[in-house]
Amino acid sequence: MPEEPINRKDDIQQDVLESADNTENGLDETGDKIKAGARAMVNKVKDPDKDIGTEYDKERFKEEFKD
């Protein structure tokens, strides 16, 4: 009884598509973090008494629910 190859072409294509999706999601998340950090820095410059961590968290929250 012949065995099927372990890595069939359709399995490889599915793996490539999943990897591309994961990469896209990772890049989107990184972009959101950069945007939130930049906005937090602007808020900190405008008002030096603001906490940068709190401002980042606020902006990050906005980025997550913007979509």
pLDDT score of 67 more than 90:
no
Structural domain includes residue 59: yes
pLDDT tens digits, residue range 49-66? Answer: 999 999 999 999 988 887
Residue 3 has pLDDT above 70, yes or no: no
Q: Which is higher by pLDDT, 27 or 7?
A: 27
Q: Is 3 a domain residue?
A: no
Considering the domain boundaries, does residue 25 fall inside one? Answer: no
- pLDDT single digits (tens) 13-51: 888 889 999 999 999 999 999 999 999 999 999 999 999
Domain assignment present for residue 39? The answer is: yes
- Which residue range is the domain that position 44 belongs to? 30-67
In a domain, 11, yes or no: no
In a domain, 62, yes or no: yes
In a domain, residue 64? The reply is: yes
Q: Which amino acid is at 58?
A: K
- Asked whether the predicted pLDDT for residue 7 surpasses 60, the reply is no
Instruction: Tell me if 37 is assigned to some domain.
Output: yes
Q: Please tell me the distance from the alpha carbon of residue 39 to that of residue 31, in angstroms, as a whole number.
A: 12
Closest to 64 measured CA to CA, from 42, 26, 36: 36
Domain count, the chain: 1
